[in-house]
Amino acid sequence: PMADSIYLEFLYIHSEIQKQGYGQEMMHALTQLFSELGYLEIRINVALKNWPALRFWTKSGFDQISGIYGDREHSDKTFANMELIKTLKAQDI
């Protein structure tokens, strides 16, 4: 999106090892690395119907919504995504 932003396109943790802290540990390490590289924010895109992912990302500090994209109507056959932002601060380093 911008020169000082980094966009995580995909992040998957195998279902057999989810909820064991590996995702949070990885996000902590990535946050530190991206801060050291000079990025000011991390952006991700998450499906609105993916409640576990929404909980994970908000727990990981993604607390800003930059937009909602996709179908306007909610149904079993429609999809929408939300772009979330985590602002990196000096203490993230």
Find the CATH number of the domain harbouring 71.
3.40.630.30
DSSP letter (8 states) at residue 62:
-
63-82 per-position pLDDT tens digit: 999 999 998 888 889 999 99
**CB distance 57 to 44 below 8 Å:** yes
Per-residue pLDDT reduced to its tens digit, 28-45: 999 999 999 999 999 999
Domain count, the chain: 1
The domain of 59 spans: 5-92
pLDDT of residue 90: 61
User: From start to end of 4-92, where are the E strands?
Assistant: 5-8, 41-47, 64-70, 80-87
Q: What percent of the chain is predicted at pLDDT more than 90?
A: 60
